[in-house]
Chain A
């Protein structure tokens, strides 16, 4: 491909891909632990401890993917970084305060004196909600081209709710995988409730995106693109059906298929993300700045890429190690 002859072409593309992967990994990984936080009010106090225990060893690293994603935006597309983040100034601030609250609540709820635990549980819930809602809000604003009108604001409020539902759905699927007994049974119920919201949200975003932008509409509804893009919506619908089926077989005494909903929800997140990425490419700031216009100098991107090629497989390796070390059920509490 001629693209790969010119570093000013393939380097921005590679970095956009890396950034996309980081966002996707973040949305899946922090998605489930944010979702666990959002589900807090539906659990008993003992169950809350188990829920936190199921994400305890992972959440730090999960949030690091957000830092990597925003870091890649910052270092590879500096002008876009400024443009996007100043446009999203307030939701970013709300998200950051949410992340602060829930991050520290993790630690404080078990280290502060017992009477304070309920307050820190509340902080954990509020922080998780603030983070999920503001991320969904930013997604909506981004889809609407970062415009500030009453209509875009309303749409962003809707995506805020849907992304929060999506996070709590994948959170519930994570709990099905990591817990057993009464909590697992509850998690199955949560997931069954969430799946409708999830399907509705996916549908709304899929419909709204092409309607907002004629360019995106043309990208999807032109021949022959339509043909080879068709699998994306079909697979998504199929995954939703498979998810529904896998949930109806749970919980069962052998714990058979307890992983399946989590795996399917990852597939669904990947498909949804793929659709969005296709819609917006080559723009990094919708309809304004392409990745090629926003990219840093090739020599700076090159030196980052050299490091990334060496380091990212290592990160993958030791992340896998951590998930292996902490595999299996995070079980019920024993006070002793």
Chain B
């Protein structure tokens, strides 16, 4: 494989590994604040129990996010120097604002949030929890602004092949930003809802009936049930936005080759880019036209419009986009089914988690990671869907890649991949280990020390 393909795989691997953890911390920060505020308001120990368990998951996820994020910041230079050379004037300030307004805030107050419970007044601890949650969300905001600008650039002019900003308002509020930001925040909320529900269901199945587990199980299920319809609605709006600004991506998502009316919604197909047609299509007649144009004979753009006369392909690879999109949507509907079923059972019987049938609890455990699957599939849809462009219409991926020998990229890729597999395994194993440990009566004690010297004493005792 050449340097370009290897670099793309490497960046894809790094950012896929990275996004798993911010997806958890962005929303888990707010969920922790919710637990802390419930505790402040009610004084009920179950909320503190919930806080103490999930703050550990937060700390672990945060560390994974920080270290994999540092990797990202270097890879712009090591693998994609052409990106910053061409659009550095736009991307630079956005990244700088992310570091200045988000990274320091979350990193510094994380220390107080994790270890400061008994060292600072209660309000400062609650404030620290808030600032960490706020910081992770700010970070998401700035990076989504930049990512959205790469999909729908505006507010700039090109001088000698270098982009210069003309309007920061237009750059920040570029057309796809609001949709993408809300879509991602909801994705994070859902990831956390199902993770919380899944691990709590796991503890419940092992016989844990503590107040903390009941509280978190309910929180997870209701949060999921609440957010999933909003997300489906938001995803639809995002799709319409993409249709307007990146029709070639929507064409790939739908597997639609020719611009035409009455396009079916394909449930299954094997897109064949050589023959430029689909094999083994199974579809709902007029479905895509109805979703995208709200009428049965709506005209949907086709991929063949994005091939130049001399045969240059300016649309993304079809099969990965087509399939990622289906995995995302499928996972979303599985989330809807499970969370509504569970929420319905709990509400109707009024007995909380005790009303849940075992089959639902068993389903929740693997669904703990459904948010990861949907988030990754969604990002693959939108990012692969932007190819061959790195910045839509401005810079291609090929133009930006570094002139580094392919074996270097290959060796480092192998090193990153093996370490990611190892860490991901360890991360998931430790989550379930912490959950099991919570059950066996060894309810997690505060990480937070009671006196100055207890910082040390508490760390190993966990």
Contact = CB atoms under 8 A, between A and B. Distances in A.
Interface of A: 49-50, 52-54, 56-58, 60-61, 63-64, 66-68, 70-76, 78-79, 81-86, 88-90, 92-93, 96-97, 99-101, 103-104, 106-108, 110-113, 296-297, 299-300, 303-304, 307-308, 311-312, 315, 318-319, 321-322, 325-326, 328-336
Contact of A296 (B73, B89, B453): B89
Contacts of A307: 93, 96-97, 100-101
A99 B462 CA distance: 24
Nearest to B449: A53
Given A60-B66, A85-B78, A103-B67, A97 B419 contact: yes
Given A52-B459, A97-B419, A325-B119, A311 B101 contact: yes
Contacts of B241: none
Interface stretch (B55-63, B268-276, B342-350): B55-63
B423 A83 contact: no
List 7 A-B pairs, minimum CB-CB distance, nearest first.
A82-B81, A75-B92, A85-B77, A78-B88, A57-B111, A53-B456, A103-B67
Contacts of A72: 96
Nearest to A103: B67
A65 B103 CA distance: 9
Contact of A300 (B59, B93, B115): B93
B456 A333 contact: yes
Contacts of B334: none
B453 A329 contact: yes
A79 B63 contact: no
A67 B103 contact: yes
B452 A333 contact: no
A5 B455 CA distance: 52
Contacts of A100: 67-68, 70-71, 419, 423
Given A74-B77, A304-B92, A333 B460 contact: yes
Given A56-B455, A97-B415, A328-B452, A106 B63 contact: yes
Taking chain A's interface residues, is the majority helix, strand, or loop, or is none over half, making it mixed?
helix
Nearest to A53: B456
A93 B78 contact: yes
B447 to A, nearest CB: 9
B85 A79 contact: yes
A332 B111 contact: no
B404 interface: yes
Contacts of A90: 408, 412
B166 to A, nearest CB: 9
A60 B110 CA distance: 8
Contacts of B456: 49-50, 53-54, 330-333
Interface residues of B, number: 75
Nearest to B412: A93
Interface stretch (B211-219, B323-331, B426-434): B426-434
Given A71-B73, A108-B426, A311-B100, A53 B433 contact: no
Interface in B44-94: 56, 59-60, 62-64, 66-71, 73-74, 76-78, 81-82, 84-85, 88-93
12 contacts: A49-B460, A53-B456, A61-B111, A64-B103, A64-B107, A70-B74, A86-B402, A93-B78, A100-B423, A304-B97, A326-B119, A330-B455
A85 B81 contact: yes
Given A81-B81, A333-B456, A318 B108 contact: yes
B5 interface: no
Contact of B457 (A58, A84, A101, A334): A334
B77 A84 contact: yes
B66 to A, nearest CB: 6
Given A57-B112, A110-B460, A96 B71 contact: yes
Contacts of B462: 110-111
Q: Which of A50, A52, A68, A82 has the most CB of B within 10 A?
A: A82
A326 B115 contact: yes
B356 interface: no
A321 B107 CA distance: 13
Nearest to A70: B73
A146 to B, nearest CB: 13
B455 A300 contact: no
B73 to A, nearest CB: 5
B92 A296 contact: yes
Contacts of A83: 81
A83 B408 CA distance: 16
A75 B142 CA distance: 14
Contact of A335 (B162, B416, B461): B461
Contact of B70 (A78, A99, A112, A113): A99
B96 A322 contact: no
Contacts of B62: 60
B198 interface: no
Contact of B66 (A49, A57, A103): A103
B92 A104 contact: no
Contacts of A84: 77
Interface in B116-173: 116, 119-120, 162, 164-165, 168
A20 B334 CA distance: 51
A216 B455 CA distance: 48
Contact of A74 (B63, B82, B95, B426): B95
Contact of A308 (B82, B100, B426): B100
A187 to B, nearest CB: 15
Contacts of A304: 92-93, 96-97
B265 interface: no
B21 to A, nearest CB: 10
Contacts of A319: 104, 108
Given A53-B459, A75-B92, A315-B100, A331 B66 contact: no
Interface string B401-430: 011100010001001100100010010011
B136 to A, nearest CB: 12
A326 B85 contact: no
A112 B426 contact: yes
Nearest to B458: A53
Given A86-B81, A325-B112, A326-B115, A93 B415 contact: yes
Contact of A66 (B70, B95, B455): B70
Contact of A92 (B74, B90, B116, B403): B74
Contacts of B461: 335-336
Contacts of B96: 71-72, 75, 304, 307-308
A259 B261 CA distance: 77
A299 B165 contact: yes
A300 B89 contact: yes
